[in-house]
Amino acid sequence: MNILGPDYLVFGVDDLVTCARYLTDYGLKPIGVDQTGGRFEALDGTAVILRARDDARLPAPMETATQLRETVYGVADEDDLQAIERELRKDREVHRGNDGVLRCVDDMGFALGFQISQRRPITLPAEAVNAPGDVIRRQVNELGLTANQQALPRSLSHVVYFVPDAARSEAFYRRLGFVCTDRFTGVGPFMRPAGTQDHHTLFLIQTPPAMKGIEHFTFHMGGPTEVMLAGTRFVEKGYTSFWGPGRHQLGSNWFWYFKSPLGCNVEYDADMDLHDDQWTAREAAPGADNSQYFLFAHQAKWAPGGPPPGKSKAPEPVA
């Protein structure tokens, strides 16, 4: 079952206008957006779809407050869709919509879909770094960064679920060809489907039932500088940084998370490890020491001669 990764996520939200502005400011391209919602695409066509919470087109909501209503994965071809359908029909209802999406509900109650992937091929250079001892990666007189350089989401990377039974949820996705690449002890696994070498497209976190839902989603950027640049611009637009910037240990990806009106966090990420079936999954204790190699905190721009970063100028003495 050659599942490539998530093609799109569907949200039923309380405030369409605010959520649409957020996704646009994040860097996704609005497609067909009107008063009922619309699609917000990365450069390869992977996307987030917004609808009003009570939109009749949406799958039924969960019993919790999560605003995620559906996760749709892309697969390589029709044979993969048929293989997934045969497996899922063993113990649950499955149907194909008029849009060609094969739909079901997973063991935790998440609405799940599969389609022949609609993502578009993109050809874009990654960030080039020059370092002593290596060949020249960025040519002489080629600038590493300019003030107006684009930093746009390239592809939907992964989704993270809060689940009340991580072991049962992991077993369900293993049926569909996902494998565990790494795990946090007592928390849950990072999982990679067969059609990609990305460290993970799904991470499962064990939580109480009342928390069930999406914790965050993220799009891949072109490198760590794009994470920093896009994140800085997002902060300057008034959005609240939640975690980062920094670099994870498991997966090695650079990250920067932000709060969102979609009821979850939203991340920029870059430079994730790639693995194949020869990889042996690691296990680590949960906690800060194993969550990131390093972590920064955003500060306003600063120049020598001014007050130290994060501090205001000292008041003038009163005569």
Nearest to 5 by CA among 69, 101, 74, 103: 74
- Order of strands across the sheet that contains 29-34: 29-34, 37-41, 47-52, 3-13, 68-75, 111-116, 102-105, 95-96
The pLDDT tens digits for 18-34 are: 999 999 999 999 999 99
Within-domain flag for 271: yes
Beta-bridge partners for 182: 190, 282
Within-domain flag for 126: no
Residue whose structure tokens are 């430079």? 271
Within-domain flag for 133: no
Residue 216's domain comprises: 3-119+152-295
Full DSSP string of 274-295: B--TT---EEE--SHHHHEEEE
SS3 157: strand
The answer to whether the beta carbons of residues 268 and 277 sit under 8 Å apart is no
Residue 311 — pLDDT band, cuts 50, 70, 90?
Answer: low
pLDDT at 305: 82
Within-domain flag for 315: no
pLDDT average, residue stretch 34-47: 97
pLDDT average, residue stretch 164-180: 98
270 Cβ partners below 8 Å, 6+ apart?
Answer: 127, 220, 221, 222, 223, 224, 226, 227, 253, 254
pLDDT at 307: 80
Within-domain flag for 305: no
Domain count, the chain: 1
SS3 234: helix
The answer to whether the beta carbons of residues 221 and 270 sit under 8 Å apart is yes
Within-domain flag for 212: yes
Nearest to 102 by CA among 117, 120, 124: 117
Beta-bridge partners for 247: 254, 294
Nearest to 266 by CA among 37, 111, 68, 52: 68
Within-domain flag for 56: yes
Token digits of residue 68:
């995620």
147/310: higher pLDDT? 147
Q: Which CATH number covers residue 269?
A: 3.10.180.10
